[in-house]
Chain A
Amino acid sequence: MTLPILLIVLVGFGLAASAVAALYWAARNGQLQDFERGAQSIFDEGEPVGVPTDRVFRRRTRKPKSA
């Protein structure tokens, strides 16, 4: 009964350690720096940032749109 528990605790520690190591490596290797570009990647020149792309319901009076 105790062997499976011991095993899983060890595996758990091992995984936690490797997660920390992976995070450290990622930070070191510049994996976490490009987030700004990643978020922008769904926009392009035809559908740029600041322009909504779905306006099916029309408001009764057109208000000046603030991006």
Chain B
Amino acid sequence: MSATVEIPGGIAANRASSGLQVEGEVVQRVVVDRSCRLPVLFFFAAGLAWLLLGSLFGFIASFKMHHPEFLADWSWLTWGRVRVAHLNMVAYGWASQAGIGVGIWLMSRLCRAPLRAPGLTLVAGLFWNLGVTIGVAGILAGHSQSIEWLEFPKYATPLLFVAYALVGIWAVLMFVNRRPGHVYVSQWYLFAAFLWFPWLYGTANVIMQAFPLKGVTYGAVNWWFAHNVLGLWFTPIGLAAAYYMIPKVIGRPVHSYYLSALGFWSLALFYSWNGMHHLIGGPFPIWLITASVVASFMMLIPVLTVAINHHMTMRGHFGRLAESPTLRFTVFGAMIYTLVSLQGVSMAIPAWNKITHFTHYTVGHAHLGMYGFFSMIMFGSMYYIVPRLVGCEWRSPTLIKWHFWLSAYGIILMVLALSVGGFLQGAYLLDPATPFEYVVKSTMLFLQSRSVSGVAIASAHLIFGFHFALMLLRLGRTGGEATTFLSREVRS
């Protein structure tokens, strides 16, 4: 039987010549993937560029901590500006854009509808990168506001807010125009994240710039914002990706959808209250700090829920980790999510906080979360998504393996170094008889180890960036097991 199936977008598939059953669902999936190509690749490419630059600045900041005279003569490279630039580059330049790229593709797939208003997403992307560029330049020029996670000077923030707002609007558009059917757990997380972040960013900036806010309330707003960037922006996107990629790659549905719902709402309710645990012992009313400590403990509920869900889904299928890079990165990230969250709960215990507060231990925790959890899951999703957008396979499995192991060993070394070093630092700080000189000296070996780990991690990024560029240039493999579509005729 010969039939030509007309698909929106002008791609025609001829059943007789291909000899394959081209199902409506499959073609629809291809059409949806194709509609995402330009915006998603834009966000991935821009994100990777910031990752490379951010890794470089991270290494410079790390090196300066044990070699303070390194590049010490230029004001724009002083440690206090390089470290701030690094954070903003990797958080807003890399992580957020990777998250948006993955989120856009996931939303389109799950709404089973081609990407709507691609122009909107591209405008958002342009504003985003403009905002980050101007913001980072401002920081290096000496206009940092020294508000953690909100250091961008005032002239950069409106650009970023416009970008975030456009993404939020796009998410609503997609969601409203989705094909009828079930709303998958990843969609809840993405929808929530794409709305929470502009609300968060807008509210924080309005309060801080427009209100007569002074004193410690500034600190409260600061850490309400900063912690919620982690809990209501990055975490939901990372979990959305994991909830899709793990079942999709192994071909098995999530173990308990009911647990997914419980995990989502308990995360939303409790995570948003955690912020003040960054200020334990600080000049705040004790009820405020206590509320955040309690909320930090309550996080055990969503975290263990997600851990159980993912583990039970993976059970019996861990062998697939040898086959799929996406699964490797994603499962690594999901396990780290459990670990870093449990670590976070422990850090909120006042007896432990007494030791680790103000130390490198906290920096280790932050990197474990942002890199070990979020970035690794983003890498995994990117490895899945990019071939489906460009129409060819990743060229070199060897490069992927190098990326994985350099990143994995790199982050493990970094976190071990900073955790052990930070704990020692804290223990010495806690002993009033230990002179400050000794506290600093005790951290040297660990800070040097962190720089070594930074070399590994930056190398991993160079490898990935190169490999990604090959894909953009359509220099991937065209043969091999289909990760994309079924027949050549379906390609446009």
Tell me, yes or no, whether A and B come into direct contact in the complex with CB atoms closer than 8 A: yes
Q: Are A54 and B324 in contact (CB under 8 A)?
A: yes
Which of chain A's residues have a CB closer than 8 A to the CB of B251?
A: 43, 47-53, 67
Instruction: Report B169-203 CB contacts with A as 1/0, cut-off 8 Å.
Output: 00000000000011111000000000000000000
A17-67: which have CB < 8 Å to B?
Answer: 19, 32, 34-59, 67
Q: Are B257 and A39 in contact (CB under 8 A)?
A: yes
Q: Are A39 and B253 in contact (CB under 8 A)?
A: yes
Q: How distant is the Cα of A57 from the Cα of B269 in the complex, in angstroms? A: 40
Known: A46-B29, A46-B486, A56-B323. A38 touches B257 (CB 8 A): yes
Which of chain B's residues have a CB closer than 8 A to the CB of A47?
A: 26, 29, 248, 251
Q: How distant is the Cα of A45 from the Cα of B26 in the complex, in angstroms? A: 7
Which of chain A's residues have a CB closer than 8 A to the CB of B324?
A: 52, 54-57
Which of chain B's residues have a CB closer than 8 A to the CB of A56?
A: 323-325, 383, 393-394, 397, 400, 481, 483
Known: A36-B257, A59-B323, A67-B251. A54 touches B483 (CB 8 A): yes
B390-423: which have CB < 8 Å to A?
Answer: 393-394, 397, 400-401
Q: Are A38 and B323 in contact (CB under 8 A)?
A: no
Q: How distant is the Cα of A19 from the Cα of B247 in the complex, in angstroms? A: 30
Considering the complex, give the chain B residue whose CB is closest to the CB of A9. B287
Which of chain B's residues have a CB closer than 8 A to the CB of A48?
A: 251
Q: Are B287 and A35 in contact (CB under 8 A)?
A: no
Q: How distant is the Cα of A48 from the Cα of B183 in the complex, in angstroms? A: 18
A44 → B minimal CB distance (Å): 4
A56 → B minimal CB distance (Å): 5
Which of chain B's residues have a CB closer than 8 A to the CB of A53?
A: 248-249, 251, 483
Task: From A34, A37, A39, A58, give the contact of B254 (CB < 8 A).
Answer: A39
B258 → A minimal CB distance (Å): 5
Considering the complex, give the chain A residue whose CB is closest to the CB of B250. A52
Asked if A3 lies at the interface with its beta carbon under 8 angstroms from chain B, I say: no
Q: Are A52 and B320 in contact (CB under 8 A)?
A: yes
Which of chain B's residues have a CB closer than 8 A to the CB of A32?
A: 258, 261
* Interface size, chain B (Cβ < 8 Å): 44
Q: Are B182 and A38 in contact (CB under 8 A)?
A: yes
Q: How distant is the Cα of A56 from the Cα of B247 in the complex, in angstroms? A: 17
Task: From A5, A42, A57, A59, give the contact of B244 (CB < 8 A).
Answer: A42
Which of chain B's residues have a CB closer than 8 A to the CB of A36?
A: 257
Which of chain A's residues have a CB closer than 8 A to the CB of B55?
A: none
Asked if B384 lies at the interface with its beta carbon under 8 angstroms from chain A, I say: yes
The total number of A-B Cβ pairs within 8 Å is: 105
Considering the complex, give the chain A residue whose CB is closest to the CB of B244. A42
Task: From B185, B320, B486, give the contact of A38 (CB < 8 A).
Answer: B185
Asked if B327 lies at the interface with its beta carbon under 8 angstroms from chain A, I say: yes
Q: Are A46 and B323 in contact (CB under 8 A)?
A: no
B89 → A minimal CB distance (Å): 29
Q: How distant is the Cα of A59 from the Cα of B319 in the complex, in angstroms? A: 11
Asked if B23 lies at the interface with its beta carbon under 8 angstroms from chain A, I say: yes
Considering the complex, give the chain A residue whose CB is closest to the CB of B185. A38
Q: Are B483 and A49 in contact (CB under 8 A)?
A: no
Considering the complex, give the chain B residue whose CB is closest to the CB of A32. B258
Asked if B206 lies at the interface with its beta carbon under 8 angstroms from chain A, I say: no
Q: How distant is the Cα of A50 from the Cα of B250 in the complex, in angstroms? A: 7
Which of chain B's residues have a CB closer than 8 A to the CB of A44?
A: 23, 25-26, 29
Asked if B110 lies at the interface with its beta carbon under 8 angstroms from chain A, I say: yes
B84-118: which have CB < 8 Å to A?
Answer: 110
Which of chain A's residues have a CB closer than 8 A to the CB of B433?
A: none
Q: Are B249 and A54 in contact (CB under 8 A)?
A: yes
Task: From B253, B320, B397, give the contact of A49 (CB < 8 A).
Answer: B253
Q: Are A57 and B249 in contact (CB under 8 A)?
A: no
Q: How distant is the Cα of A1 from the Cα of B286 in the complex, in angstroms? A: 12
Q: How distant is the Cα of A38 from the Cα of B25 in the complex, in angstroms? A: 17
Task: From B29, B184, B323, give the contact of A57 (CB < 8 A).
Answer: B323
Considering the complex, give the chain B residue whose CB is closest to the CB of A16. B269
Task: From B110, B256, B322, B483, give the contact of A42 (CB < 8 A).
Answer: B110
Which of chain A's residues have a CB closer than 8 A to the CB of B110?
A: 41-42
Q: How distant is the Cα of A43 from the Cα of B247 in the complex, in angstroms? A: 9
Asked if B67 lies at the interface with its beta carbon under 8 angstroms from chain A, I say: no
Which of chain B's residues have a CB closer than 8 A to the CB of A19?
A: 269
Known: A56-B324, A56-B325. A41 touches B29 (CB 8 A): no
18 A-B pairs with C-beta separation under 8 A: A32-B258, A38-B185, A42-B253, A45-B23, A45-B26, A47-B29, A47-B248, A49-B253, A52-B251, A53-B248, A53-B251, A54-B248, A54-B249, A54-B326, A55-B323, A55-B481, A56-B324, A57-B401
Q: Which B residues are closer than 8 A to A by beta carbons?
A: 23, 25-26, 29, 110, 181-185, 244, 247-254, 256-258, 260-261, 269, 285, 287, 320, 322-327, 383-384, 393-394, 397, 400-401, 481, 483, 486
Apart from A39-B253, A47-B26, A58-B397, list 17 A-B contacts with CB within 8 A. Answer: A36-B257, A38-B257, A39-B260, A40-B253, A41-B110, A42-B110, A42-B184, A44-B23, A44-B26, A46-B23, A46-B29, A51-B251, A52-B323, A53-B249, A53-B483, A54-B483, A57-B400
